[in-house]
Amino acid sequence: MQQINALDADIARLEVEVNTLAAGAVPQPAMQDVRASLPAAPTKRYPRRNLDTIRRVIVHHTATKPDVTPQRVAEFQVGQGLPGIKYHFYITGDGQISWTQPVEALTSQTSVEAVNANGIAVCLAGDFNKVAPSAAQMESAAQTIAWLLGTFNLATAAIIGRSEVDPSDPSGSPGMQWLAGAKYKEPLVNRVQAILDAATPQDPVVVALRQRIKELEQRIT
C-alpha cells in the first residue's frame, strides 16, 4: 500500500507539471454570468479567499429535477440563512453553464471548513442517486472543470465528489452513481483529461511526462 501511495503521489505531481504547461490554454466555456443577479441576503456576504489557496474542484448535485434554475436554488439557500447560492458554477441538465459566485467567495458548500476553504463548487442540477447526468451536462461539466484545472494548475486528482470529503452530507452529493452503478466520476475525469491533453502543447517535455505517467499507472494496475 505504501508503494501504491508513493506511485499515486508521483503521478499527481507529473500531472500537475503537464497541466501547468496547459495553464490558460483551455478556453473558458460559454456560460451565463449571473453572479450579480442571483437572490442574495441583504446583509450577509461570504468571506473572500486568496486564489492561491484553491486546491480542489468539488462536484455536487441538487437532488432535484435537472431543470431547476440557479435562481431557484439561490432563493432556497438564502431562505435557509446562507448569504447566497453556495455553488460557484451551476450546470442544468441541458448543459447550460452559469457562473453563480465569484471564485474568491469562500462558500458554505460542505460541512467541512477545510474543503470550503480550498474548493471550487461545481453543481450539476439533478438527482444522480439512480441515474447519471445527461451527455450534455457531462460535457459542460468537463469543459468547466478542465478550464478551472488549467487556470489553477491542478491535476485531475483534484476532482472530488462532495461525498468523498463530506460523508455526513444527507443527500450523498453528487449522488450514488458518482462512484457506484454508472460510476460517472470516471468518464468525467477521463473527458477532463482529454480536454487538458488537447490544449497542452505537444513538445518533447510534455510527451516525456505523459509517457512517464503511463508507465507509473501500469505499475499500479
Question: What pLDDT score was predicted for residue 25?
Answer: 74
* DSSP label at residue 103: T
34 vs 40: CA distance, rounded Å: 12
Neighbours of 16 (CB within 10 A): 16
Question: What pLDDT score was predicted for residue 206?
Answer: 62
Question: What pLDDT score was predicted for residue 15?
Answer: 66
20 vs 62: CA distance, rounded Å: 32
Tell me the whole-structure pTM to 2 decimals.
Answer: 0.82
- Spatial CA neighbour of 144 closest among 65, 199, 91, 100: 91
Question: What pLDDT score was predicted for residue 153?
Answer: 86
Question: What pLDDT score was predicted for residue 59?
Answer: 98
For the chain, 221 residues long, give each residue's pLDDT as a single digit of tens. Answer: 566 666 566 666 666 666 565 555 788 999 999 999 999 999 999 999 999 999 999 999 999 999 999 999 999 999 999 999 999 999 999 999 999 999 999 999 999 999 999 999 999 999 999 999 999 999 999 999 999 998 998 989 999 999 999 988 888 999 999 999 999 999 999 999 999 988 866 656 666 766 777 677 667 65
- Spatial CA neighbour of 19 closest among 211, 220, 209: 209
For residue 174, whether the previous peptide bond is cis, meaning omega lies within 30 degrees of 0, is yes
7 vs 217: CA distance, rounded Å: 8
Q: What's the Cα-to-Cα distance from 6 to each of 13, 21, 164, 182, 216, rounded to whole Å?
A: 11, 23, 21, 29, 10
Question: What pLDDT score was predicted for residue 217?
Answer: 64
Question: What pLDDT score was predicted for residue 62?
Answer: 97
Question: What pLDDT score was predicted for residue 208?
Answer: 72
